Homo-oligomer: A and B are copies of this chain.
Amino acid sequence: MTDSPLVSLLRPVRSGNAFEETVERLLQAIKLGVVAHGAKMPPERELAAQLGISRVTLREAIRALQESGYLEVRRGRYGGAFVVYEPPDPGHGDLRRALNAMGPGELDDALTFRMAVECGAAQVLAERALTPAQITLLRRRLADVNRAGPSDYRRLDTAFHLCIAELTGSPLLAAACADARLRVTDLLNAIPILSFNIQHSALQHAAIVEAILDRDPDRARQAVAEHLEGTAALLRGFLA
């Protein structure tokens, strides 16, 4: 265990199959509600460019999602790929199933990773002097998630968390946080949204923002850690 740095350094160069990877990404964008129900995905050419893949590959992925009922594609001007998917209310077996879909150590890996990068992002942000526009944006996202109904909650919660990372101005860090979030999405989606939890989270979200705006890195870090620990404990509890 924990052998030389070779292990970290000589890790896989490419994630795997471009097609599958793309399907996964788009699926996450849909499930996270980043592209909301009924909304249009960006045009193929644009999307392909952003994802760094060819149009052909992208289209294969889109077709797969179309056939699975996540997207509806319309041609012609003002056409495009529209999201036709609404997150179902999670049943009781769903979390178990989602957990089993992950490898054994994978859950811990994902949770640890998320804890580290999100705490790091909050800390970094709290060390900065934010511009008024940034402050406004952060407050806005906080208000959004606190005002969210059950159908919007996950989406706005995601937006709030990612907003912190994006405000650091580091694309690498933002990508890492997005990645971390992706790895627990399926699990989060399988947890029923309880109003008790929402209210609890709202307090924690507020504490995070407050600490950041107060330029207090330690408090920011702690607030995020506490917040994420709640989710982590919930998920880990189902493994017992």
Contacts and interface: CB of A to CB of B under 8 A. Distances in A.
Nearest to A159: B5
B221 A225 contact: no
Nearest to A177: B8
Interface string A167-183: 11111111111111011
Copies in the complex: 2
A203 interface: no
A198 interface: no
Nearest to A124: B116
A134 B2 CA distance: 9
Contacts of A105: 169
B178 A116 contact: no
13 contacts: A2-B167, A4-B159, A5-B178, A6-B29, A11-B51, A13-B21, A13-B22, A14-B53, A108-B169, A113-B170, A116-B117, A119-B123, A221-B221
Interface of A: 2, 4-16, 18, 21-22, 25, 28-29, 32, 34-35, 42, 47, 50-53, 105, 108-110, 112-113, 115-121, 123-124, 127, 134, 137, 158-159, 162-163, 165-180, 182-183, 217-218, 221-222, 225
